[in-house]
Amino acid sequence: MSERKQFRAIKGTRDILPPDSGLWNWFEKTARDTFESYNFREIRLPIFEETSLFARSVGGETDIVSKEMYTFEDRAFGLEKPKRIGDVGDFITKVREAANSGQIPNDPSNRAEIETVEQLWRRFVSNDFELGSEEAGGLSPADQIHLMSRSAGDVRLGADISLRPEATASTMRAYIEHGMHALPGNVKLYYMGPMFRRERPQKGRYRQFYQIGAEVLGQSDAPAIDAEVIEMLMVFFQRVGLTRTTLYINSIGDKNCRPAYVELLRTELQKVKEQLGADSQRRIDTNPLRVLDSKIPNEQEIIAKLPRIADHLCDACKENYAGLKRELALRGIAYEENWRLVRGLDYYTRTTFEVIAEGLGSQNAVCGGGRYDGLVELLGGQPTKGIGFAIGSDRSILSIQESGNVPALPGLDVFVAWMGMDTYPTAVKIARTLREAGFDVELPGEEMKFKKLLNLADRLGARYALIIGSDEVASGTFTLKRLADADQKKLNESDLLETLTNERRGTRA
Ligand code: ATP
Ligand code: MG
């Protein structure tokens, strides 16, 4: 026998199995309920988008875009690379049409690739295969075919697309595409689902992970909007029992005051460059704000002495930040100011915030958020103000599990223990009735011995076994056995429903 390959989930991805999946569903449902109570509505977005959407919004210089995206070339419908020399002519016609109609990239580089194939093809069909002839460019027919096939291989037959590393960019794209600026009031959206980043997998850091996010888009940047978003976030965390958290806030200024601060920071960083590690040294040029984010022990003392953004905010940003703090106080939300809190993405302005949770080691950020007033415009929409956050579900749920604060989620209510084929029709019928009444019911599909039935009911964690034997069928009753204490009652159908319903009220209130 040949050895059979054991397939495993790809490193950085994982399966979420029951009963954890129940916890996940509850976590997500609580988010829906909470967000909807603040009048947010769900937006469901595609999992892949054009790569350039992320490059433009998240920023080409960020780690996310420059190193971590899963990017691939799509294939327009009906197009494929030529397999035989006889296919090349047809291939050229098709890709020309596809480029003209926008089905495949029509940028200069793709046009040049198509042009090259076409030139090689024309040369190939017109020359007489004379080895080394002038027309053949000194190439043998075999070399020409090789070159043609290589150039055809370089033609991009579809858009450059990426699995989403985050969902704010897609939300903005959708907002613009559907003209949502015309909707009344602020547009308040939430989303949830998987994100993809090619990072080094470790506890709390995966290549496929899940986020729940919310965004408010509109014409106002009133601090009340920021504060309400933060309130909603903290209310959600409280509802799911994620209470050992710290909320950090900061303002990173806007396009009027931040550039000068960034320059000042760069100048100051240049002076201490030699004492910094390679990453921070590089960031002095690419993104000095990110140096503040450094976790390297040796750099902490140096960073502590750097100029702080709060001392360099323009009046409008200062007032906006003070307003945010007033609004948070009004709502009784505890926070800590953290002048070193800068977000990893380029699009943020003014308010930034992060929530960290205890018990997660170094991957302890469970939510990141902030204001991104220029983003919609950057993506070609109307000038729009925006604020939002993204919660990391994986880490949040890990933290809930680690705190032991896991809620008791409803499990199997009733195991139908039928005995003898003559009782089977009754069992099928009552299982349906109980399920319709909202109970979780297990009905064995095969006849089993009584002992085996009760044993299975126990191992499945059922709260009740509903025993149906010939006696019960004859008298039109059921024996309901509570497995925790073996308490047993004989009931008719309506009493059975009433008993189970009352008990449920008691345990799930
Ligand atoms: P970190 O500093 O931990 O890498 P980040 O700044 O990259 O986080 P954001 O892009 O702001 O994170 O995403 C918001 C949240 O999503 C994070 O606070 C975190 O909880 C979660 N998150 C981000 N990347 C991952 C990942 N690879 N695996 C699991 N959760 C993640
Ligand atoms: Mg990250």
pLDDT, average across residues 426-448:
97
- Which pLDDT score, from 0 to 100, does residue 2 have? 64
- Mean per-residue pLDDT, 214-242: 97
Q: Sheet containing 478-482: which strands, arranged edge to edge? A: 441-442, 414-418, 464-468, 478-482, 488-491
- Mean pLDDT is lowest, of 152-161, 184-193, 436-445, 478-487, for 152-161
- Residue whose Cα lies nearest atom 11 of ligand 1: it is 368
Ligand at minimal distance from the CA of 362 is 1
The DSSP line for 177-226 is HTTGGGSSS-EEEEEEEEEE-----BTTB-SEEEEEEEEEEES---HHHH
Q: Quote the ligand 1 centre to 173 CA distance (angstroms).
A: 21
Pocket test for ligand 1, best of 166, 198, 203, 205 (most atoms within 8 A of CB): 205
What is the percent of the chain with per-residue pLDDT over 90, rounded to a whole number? Answer: 80
Closest to 252 in 3D by CA, of 182, 349, 130: 349
Quick check: CB of 165 below 6 Å from ligand 1?
no
Longest CA–CA separation in the chain, Å: 102
Average pLDDT over residues 231-257: 96
- Ligand number, closest to the Cα atom of 343: 1
pLDDT > 70: percent of the chain:
96
- What is the arithmetic mean of pLDDT over 18-28? 97
Give, using CA atoms, the residue closest to atom 2 of ligand 1: 365
* Mutation probe of ligand 1 site: the residue of 211, 250, 340, 400 with most atoms within 8 A of C-beta: 211
Q: What confidence score (pLDDT) does residue 94 get?
A: 93
Counting atoms of ligand 1 from 1, which one is nearest the CA of 293? 2
| Residue 8: strand, helix, or coil | coil
Residue 344 CA: which ligand 1 atom is closest?
6
The finding on whether 367 has its CB within 6 A of some atom of ligand 1 is yes
- Mean pLDDT over residues 42-69, rounded? 92
Say which DSSP state 3 is in.
Answer: P
Q: Name the closest ligand to CA 198.
A: 1
Please work out whether the CB of residue 344 comes within 6 Å of at least one atom of ligand 1: yes
**Strand partners of residue 368:** 354, 390
pLDDT beyond 70 at 129: no
Q: What was the pLDDT predicted at 345?
A: 66
Q: Which atom of ligand 1 is nearest to the CA of 205?
A: 28
pLDDT for res 6: 95
pLDDT in tens, 395-408: 999 999 999 989 98
Q: Which pair of tokens denotes residue 49?
A: 């988008």
Query: Distance between the two ends of the chain, CA-based, in angstroms?
Result: 57
Ligand 1 contact via 166 beta carbon (within 6 Å): yes
Q: Predicted confidence band at 61 (pLDDT cuts at 50, 70, 90)?
A: confident
Residue 243: CB within 6 Å of ligand 1?
no
Which alpha helices (DSSP H) does 101-160 contain, by range? 108-126, 141-154
Give the model's confidence band at 238: pLDDT under 50 very low, under 70 low, under 90 confident, else very high. Answer: very high
Our mutation pick for probing the ligand 1 site, out of 395, 397, 399, counting the most ligand atoms within 8 A of Cβ, is 395
Ligand 1: nearest atom to the Cα of 211? 16
For 207, list phi and psi in degrees, rounded to 5. -90, -30
Contact 54, 67 (CB under 8 A): no
Q: What is the pLDDT of residues 331-341, one digit of tens each?
A: 999 999 999 99
**Cβ neighbours of residue 391 closer than 8 Å, sequence gap 6 or more:** 31, 211, 212, 213, 233, 236, 366, 367
CB 336 within 8 A of CB 248: yes
H or E segment and range at residue 251? strand 245-251
Work out the mean pLDDT of the chain and round it to a whole number.
Answer: 93
- Is the pLDDT at 509 greater than 50? The verdict is no
Q: What is the pLDDT of residues 180-206, one digit of tens each?
A: 999 999 999 999 999 999 999 999 999
Closest CA to 96 of 82, 110, 77, 81: 110
Q: What residues are paired with 336 via a beta bridge?
A: 248
Our answer on whether the CB atom of 376 is closer than 6 Å to any ligand 1 atom is no
Residue type at 262 in one-letter notation: V
Give the span between the Cα atoms of 271 and 445, in whole angstroms.
76
Categorize the per-residue pLDDT at 166 as very low, low, confident or very high, splitting at 50, 70 and 90: very high
- Report CA(84)–ligand 1 centroid distance (Å): 47
293 lines ligand 1 (CB under 6 A): no
Lowest mean pLDDT among 133-147, 307-321, 472-486: 133-147
Decide: 205 in ligand 1 pocket, CB within 6 A. yes
Greater pLDDT, 467 or 82: 467
pLDDT tier, 134 (very low <50, low <70, confident <90, very high otherwise): low
- Min mean pLDDT across 12-21, 340-349, 429-438 is at 340-349
How far apart are the CA of 131 and the centre of ligand 2, in A?
Answer: 57
Handedness of CA 401, 404, 409, 413 (dihedral sign): positive
Is 16 close to ligand 1, i.e. is its CB under 6 Å away?
A: no
SS (H, E, C) 59-73: HCCCHHHHHCCCEEE
Question: Considering only CA atoms, which residue is closest to atom 5 of ligand 1?
Answer: 344
- Going by alpha carbons, the residue nearest to atom 19 of ligand 1 is 392
Closest ligand 1 atom, CA of 197? 27
Beta bridge partners of 190: 42, 214
Determine the Cα–Cα distance for residues 146 and 152; give it in Å rounded to an integer.
10
Q: For residue 457, which of 490, 486, 494 has the smallest C-alpha distance?
A: 486
Mean pLDDT, rounded, for 351-373: 93
Using 50, 70 and 90 to split pLDDT, how confident is the model at 346? low
